[in-house]
Amino acid sequence: MKIVLATLHLKLNEALHRDDQLVIQGEVDSLRDLALHLKTKEPDVVIINPDLNGLQDNANVTLKEVLMQLHEQKIRPIVLLGEERDDLDTLLETHTWDFLIAPFKVKDVKELIFNTRSKNDAEEYLRRKGVTANMDEEEIVFSSETKHVQEPSEAIDFFGVASQREPNWKPVESGVSGFGQSKVFSITSSKGGVGKSTLAVNIAGWFAKNGFKTVIVDGDVYQGNISTMMKVRSALTLVDWDHLPKRLDQETVLRSLVRHASGLYILPSPVNYVGAPVARDLYLKIIENLKQYFQVVIVDLDPKITVGSLAVMEASDHVFFVNTPDEHGLERCSATINQIAGHIDPGKLSLVLNDRDNVFQSGDEFVYKQSVPHQVELAVLKHSPELRKKIGDGQPLILAKPNCRYCKELNHVIQEITGIENMNTDKKPKRWNRRFFSLLRR
């Protein structure tokens, strides 16, 4: 029997290692590490000490998430509770009947490994321990033959909330609809708060709406908020990919992402990240693996220009530079755009102005023409009052209100850049929208 130990219990671990009937596939010291370990191992049993999270500074994975994902993967959990039994309600709620309450001995753990409990067994065990608990009336037996536990329809995925798998998803091949191959679009800016992530989410929503398998990478590791905007969370983040092999299979790639209800996949940024900027090699490993299974990869970059972010822009088919149309913003973005244009082809760079206060006037294009390389395209997106509300609801505005002014203009911008018509509508954008997208030439 193959086992993974997540206990930090030296005596217990040594005893299980000595048992010839058991194959110990690994030991981990946090629930996050357990998530990473299960991506490459398929044990029969995982023994868990819930107090692991109390020993970690970045404990953001809950026991409930662990249990539900283990059940989904048909891996049997055995939970070792302390005398306080703080997590007992979680076990009963998730129909986990294999648990021990301290004090217990090594032989008790071994006995439970080889003899799974039913709900009735768990009730009897609690009575012997003098514990009163309200058990769900539904009888669910974790049999050794099926190794499967029925789970609630609103199951929480260890690798993301309410994630859904696409069972027969094939790698992207050349000649997919609209593209000859997978495309990468990166979004950057010279400062925060200009609507960069909002634009990234809505561009991704546009592609998803038009039938493209689309993934968003939140590369803004210091201020990333796409997972918050989309109201999803995941046990794994962008920086965790540093521990993964260079080439990943489809199952590993999908497990590392969280799926939004709209069909978008998201690779979130870490929370409260303190460390070096994302390295060039890590960015490129992520992009190359995602391109194998997605038609469109959207990368929301850190406003700070780094070696890594420049590598992403070089690998991108198009780069959106987002700013606001105010005097200070123009001065700052002009210097940054000129810096970027020294490393990539200016022809694949667009300056997108989020005109939240409606200050951009017809004719202002000439001001910007003097400030940025002449090959850089210019687009202006007018503010929509629905924009903030829909983001607050956890969905891209372009999916919820596709006919609003902002979405019509964004729709036209994307069509101009990609040459793809909006495949979900018969209406073509109004011609007057072209004034919001001016190609600047000498």
Q: How many CB atoms neighbour CB 316 within 10 A?
A: 23
Longest dimension (CA), the chain: 85
CATH architecture of 183-439: 3-Layer(aba) Sandwich (3.40)
Cα separation of the two ends of the chain: 71
What's the CA gap between 442 and 435, in Å, rounded?
A: 18
Return the DSSP state at 238.
G
Q: Do 60 and 20 contact (CB within 8 A), yes or no?
A: no
Using alpha carbons, list the distances in angstroms from residue 92 to 47, 61, 80, 95, 208.
17, 19, 14, 5, 38
What's the CA gap between 131 and 25, in Å, rounded?
A: 34
What's the CA gap between 337 and 335, in Å, rounded?
A: 6
| pLDDT tens for each residue of 182-239 | 899 999 988 887 888 888 999 999 998 888 999 999 999 888 888 888 888 776 889 8
| pLDDT tens for each residue of 283-307 | 999 999 999 999 999 999 988 888 9
């009730």: which residue's tokens? 123
E strands in 243-306: 258-259, 265-267, 296-301
Type of residue numbered 421: E
**Per-residue confidence (pLDDT) for residue 229, from 0 to 100:** 84
- Average pLDDT of the chain, as a whole number: 75
Q: Do 217 and 286 contact (CB within 8 A), yes or no?
A: yes
**Per-residue confidence (pLDDT) for residue 31, from 0 to 100:** 80
Q: Spell out the domain ranges in the chain.
A: 2-133, 183-439
**Per-residue confidence (pLDDT) for residue 137, from 0 to 100:** 41
| pLDDT tens for each residue of 33-79 | 887 787 778 888 999 988 775 444 444 677 888 888 888 788 899 99
Q: Do domains 2-133 and 183-439 have the same CATH topology?
A: yes
Looking at domain 2-133, its CATH class is alpha beta
Element (H, E) at 123: helix 119-128
- Better-predicted residue by pLDDT, 376 or 195: 195
Q: Is the pLDDT of residue 401 over 70?
A: yes
